[in-house]
Amino acid sequence: MSLQFTGCSFRYGRKVPVLNGLDLSLDRRATVLLGPNGAGKSTLLGIAASWISPTAGAVTWKGMNPGQRHTRAAYRKAVGWLPQNVKPMPGLTVRENVAYIGWLKGMSRSDAWDRSHQALERVKLGSLAGRKSHQLSGGQLRRMGIAGTLVHHSEIVLLDEPTAGLDPSQRHIFRELVTSLLADLHVVVSTHQTEDLDTMYDRVVILDRGRTRFEGDTDTFLALAAPGTPEGRRAENAYTQLIAQEV
């Protein structure tokens, strides 16, 4: 199974294209998407989530294309998305927010409500199901967002900068959660953080200026680090080596 981008292009208004004819196949269980600001990472995930449509090309999952009416609903149920900014519905409880997302994805109200409890338990927020969502901490809000990606039986989850702004303790909890999802889901994570890359992901993709600078397995990526780089800094150094080639 793979999330396939074929000739994908996108531009905002008359600006320089953010993506330009991008071909990319994300076929591993855990993929990390790296790149500098403005590289096109969020745009790529927005297209994959069918939040925005490419100006050219297509994205597919298991042959389903959100640009085609007859497969759009099935595609959206299969693909879960956590954007950078999680914005809960005002006045709703944590469980109501998650159930609402399931309903938006085409589930019946009763099924969405039943599944919301299971999704919250999976992200360890079951005890906070009745709390108003605006009372959650930043880390809890992200976990509620992930529950929303799970409630509709998604097969692949897209996480855009999921640990940005979280403290070290919250990031640790989040990394454990993402690792647990890999038992039965495909996960694509966009991030600027390279710590734990070698233990969490088996595929690395680096975008720069809307094109792929690197696509390969984690070991191949780490081998790009300069000789003598300390073990814990290899991912950071390998990333710097690649991006520095464009400077």
76-87 pLDDT, tens digit per residue, is 999 999 998 888
Q: Is the pLDDT of residue 245 over 60?
A: no
Residue 205 near residue 31 (C-beta atoms within 8 A) = yes
pLDDT at 247: 45
Among 138, 50, 131, smallest CA distance to 91 is for: 131
Nearby residues of 232 by Cβ (< 8 Å), 6 or more positions away: 195
Q: Options 3.40.50.300, 3.90.1150.10, 3.30.565.10, 3.30.70.20; which CATH number does 3-244 get?
A: 3.40.50.300
* Per-residue pLDDT tens digits for 107-137: 999 999 999 999 999 999 999 999 999 999 8
Nearby residues of 77 by Cβ (< 8 Å), 6 or more positions away: 105, 106, 152, 153, 154
Give the pTM. Answer: 0.91
Residue 88 near residue 165 (C-beta atoms within 8 A) = no
Q: Where are the domains of the chain?
A: 3-244
Residue 212 three-state SS: strand
